[in-house]
Amino acid sequence: MNINATLLAQAVVFIVFIAICWKYVYPPILAAMQEREKKISDGLNAAKKADDALEEARIAFEKELSNAKAEASEIIEKANNRATQIVSDATSKAETEAEKIITSANKTVENETNKAKEDLRKQLSSIIIDTTQKILDEEISKDKHEALLKKAAEEL
């Protein structure tokens, strides 16, 4: 093998080519690769943070949901208790009102009965007086009439 000028010229050109590439071509390529690696690393970190934030949000959501369910159950229980109390109060008021109406009706019936008895007594005494007047053929005075009514009332 001979080393001639062509081989030496090719070696020099190759070394110059490597030097030019080393100085001007590789640094931008290496910079682009490092930048791309940094972006990928940042993207992975951001994805990990997003996953962590998503997990925290899911846990917070579940906690809030369980709190809301407990609060809803408590509100429903309070509403049911209040409804029961309202029904109970309404029933008590209705019973009290019914008792008042019955008592009032009984008093009214008793008053009407007493009135009817009194009217019957007056009518009866009037009939008796008229009949007695006809029988005796004389008129009884008002004082005698009142005395007879009192006496009849005492006897009844």
Q: What is the pLDDT of residues 80-102, one digit of tens each?
A: 999 999 999 999 999 999 999 99
pLDDT at 24 over 90: yes
Q: Which DSSP string corresponds to the chain?
A: ----HHHHHHHHHHHHHHHHIIIIIHHHHHHHHHHHHHHHHHHHHHHHHHHHHHHHHHHHHHHHHHHHHHHHHHHHHHHHHHHHHHHHHHHHHHHHHHHHHHHHHHHHHHHHHHHHHHHHHHHHHHHHHHHHHHHHTSPPPHHHHHHHHHHHHHH-
* Domain range list for the chain: 24-155
Q: How confident is the model at residue 123 (pLDDT cuts 50, 70, 90)?
A: confident
Q: How confident is the model at residue 117 (pLDDT cuts 50, 70, 90)?
A: confident
